[in-house]
A and B are shown apart, each in its own frame.
Chain A
Amino acid sequence: MEHVADPLPQAAFAKAVLELEVSNHAGVMSHICGLFARRAFNVEGILCMPIVGSDASRIWLLVFEDQRLEQMLLQLEKLIDVRSVRRHGAGHEVFERLEAFFH
């Protein structure tokens, strides 16, 4: 009998905040969300705004630090529309400051 892997209990993992700089056009979000969705890699939070005075947008992602995160970062970097990827600790203030809007 084949063993079906249980989904990783993500709540047990620490969180990380990813900061992406991407080309600002309509399809970018689909490319990025698709990468995570297909691997059932849960994205807890997502925030996207154009960067003032440029043709780029910044995307903030709140994700779990499971063992696949390294591979996810490499896959993100491969996307043509993703110009840079930075990884921050869970303590990054961007999502903390937003929390007031989610009560």
Chain B
Amino acid sequence: MLQMTGAELIVRLLERQGVRTIAGIPGGAILPLYDALSGSTTIRHVLARHEQGAGFMAQGMSRVSGRPEVCFASSGPGATNLVTAIADAKLDSIPMVAITGQVPLSMIGTDAFQEVDTYGLTIPITKHNFLVRSARDLLTVIPAAFRIAMSGRPGPVLVDVPKDVQNQLVAFEAYPEPAEREAPPPFDLTAIDAAARMINEAERPVLYLGGGVVHGGASQQAVTLAEQAGLPTTMTLMALGAMPIDHPLSIGMLGMHGARYTNFVLEEADLLICVGARFDDRAIGKAAQFCPNAKIIHIDIDSSEIHKIKRAHVGIQADVAAALEALLPRVKVQLRKRWLSHVAGLKTRFPLQMPGAEDPRSHYGLIHAVAAALDDEAIITTDVGQHQMWVAQAYPFRRPRQWLTSGGLGTMGFGMPAALGAALAEPERTVVCFSGDGSLQMNIQELATLAEEGLNVKIVLMNNNSLGLVYQQQSLFYGKRVFASRYGRPLDFVAIAEGFGMRGVDLDASENPRATLAEVLNEPGPCLIHASIDRENFVYPMVPPGGANTEMIGG
């Protein structure tokens, strides 16, 4: 017979689940759990400076490991501070388990100190959530939380544990087995046959890959399918890296800031093979005018995505890797010379324009210079704004999980703590966070965590002293009425970095920015690299809000 408190039980179950790093911040209602965690010899705790930072660190770990990772927060403000990071994980289907302290059971509903209805708050932003009402329930709830987070379409799960439940003694015979991913649902082979037939018969097919290909570990199968059937392949923001960007069949990212030729190729497609993507509005523009002549094959693990935005001619609910494996032997080898040479012609006529790409002091040039100083082992994160789109357009992503960005929720403040998480999960890699001055200030306190942990994270700050993407929208679509998008005072970010205890380098002051980048990026440890960017640089091409993808402006 084993006997322990609920808090100790949680820690043992997390250890058995293979959790090795937890980010969080303690507070009254979660102190029993922290006390138990202090006795763990296998789990390391990383003390964040804001719970949102802890949530994004857990996400950063999950996004590179593919496993559910854990963050802790106390009740009340601790839990509300986590909310953004949880919602972000939901929209990007990131497996994560958030554990929050709660006021004692008997005080729930009394407006007790630091009481908030965490369960109610997180219903719409989690895949599932639990309010644990006895320590014994932890034996089923903790494994269930991990199983749910990683099975099917991944997502965040929250477990709210009242303080008295953490302190309650529970006796039990044996630990439950650590959770495993549930077997994916069986799928319909006649639908696979139908899909194969459509691919074999199509004249102008396009393969459209989404984040599900990365989550499902299906990149290799997707590339093989493209090569076998001669499919030009586009990727969503979330799928960048699923096919190397310089692969001859890659036509790059589609959508609002995709290259013109990419959106034109889609316009002409007679078959769209959508794998692990969800026809998001930023990717497809006006839904009714997207791929107007194409039949659609849609493969996704989440059946509610199929037919949600666009009616599919063949819809297959399946693990994308398994479905692609089944598809491969049924698909003919085709060279598709005519279609591919037409695609190549469009690419020559309407390429992605990257003005200034040779100049490391320009936005595209800086991104290229950073890429040139790194190899494909590096992990790249971004914040949200113009810099994010420029990196998506210009960085040569060549492997899945190389690229971490907040796609669905578009959360400023994601990039730096997510980079910390990535470095915690894979400390041997260099992690580079491209950020904007607006976004960096959203979670700037985590520079303290970064400096303390001494992680190999480089922040490349593209500073235009403004909320650039907002400035761009006001300039283009609001009659140049620029309001609340420029900062009144410039900040000294190099001094800020130094103040937090890490190196800061001003690229503006460097005689030879390429050499400085090569030196700084290859020196281990944290560093902030500051580069001024002209505010008048906009992200082009751009599909105006509400427009069809073929109605791009600029670029």
Contact = CB atoms under 8 A, between A and B. Distances in A.
A84 interface: no
Contacts of A78: 302, 304
Interface in B296-312: 302-304, 307-308
A73 to B, nearest CB: 9
B304 A27 contact: no
B176 interface: no
A63 to B, nearest CB: 17
Interface residues of A, number: 16
Interface in B264-316: 302-304, 307-308
B499 to A, nearest CB: 43
Interface stretch (A12-20, A30-38, A40-48, A52-60): A30-38
A10 interface: no
A20 to B, nearest CB: 16
Q: Which residue of B124, B131, B148, B304 has the most chain A CB atoms within 10 A of its CB atom?
A: B304
Nearest to A26: B131
Contacts of B129: 27
Interface string A1-13: 0100000000000
A27 B302 contact: no
A74 B303 contact: yes
B123 interface: yes
B120 interface: yes
Q: Which residue of A2, A74, A75 has the most chain B CB atoms within 10 A of its CB atom?
A: A74
Contacts of B308: 71
B123 A71 contact: no
Interface string A64-96: 000000110011011111000000000000000
Nearest to A31: B123
Contact of A27 (B119, B124, B148, B546): B119
B20 interface: no
Interface residues of B, number: 15
A77 B120 CA distance: 20
Contacts of A26: 131
Nearest to A2: B546
B546 A34 contact: no
Interface string B212-232: 000000000000000000000
A68 to B, nearest CB: 10
A34 B127 CA distance: 13
A31 B128 CA distance: 9
A80 B148 CA distance: 8
A70 B306 CA distance: 11
A80 B128 contact: yes
B131 A27 contact: yes
Contact of B304 (A30, A31, A34, A71): A71
Nearest to A75: B304
A34 B120 CA distance: 10
A2 B307 CA distance: 25
Interface in B77-134: 119-120, 123-124, 127-129, 131
Contacts of A81: 128
A82 B376 CA distance: 44
A37 to B, nearest CB: 10
Contacts of A30: 120, 123
Nearest to B131: A27
Nearest to B147: A80
A34 B303 contact: no
Contacts of A70: 307
A2 B120 CA distance: 33
Contacts of B120: 30
B303 A27 contact: no
A1 to B, nearest CB: 10
A43 to B, nearest CB: 16
A34 B119 CA distance: 13
Contacts of A75: 304
Interface string B366-389: 000000000000000000000000
A79 B129 CA distance: 10
B201 to A, nearest CB: 29
A38 B123 CA distance: 12
Contacts of B127: 80
Nearest to B144: A80
Contacts of B124: 34, 38
B184 to A, nearest CB: 15
Chain A to chain B: the 7 pairs with minimum beta-carbon distance, closest first: A74-B304, A80-B128, A34-B123, A75-B304, A30-B123, A34-B124, A31-B123
Given A26-B131, A77-B304, 18 more contacts: A2-B546, A27-B119, A27-B123, A27-B129, A30-B120, A31-B123, A34-B124, A38-B124, A71-B307, A71-B308, A74-B304, A77-B303, A78-B302, A78-B304, A79-B128, A80-B127, A80-B128, A80-B148
13 contacts: A26-B131, A27-B119, A27-B129, A27-B131, A30-B120, A30-B123, A31-B123, A38-B124, A70-B307, A71-B308, A79-B128, A80-B148, A81-B128
Interface of A: 2, 26-27, 30-31, 34, 38, 70-71, 74-75, 77-81
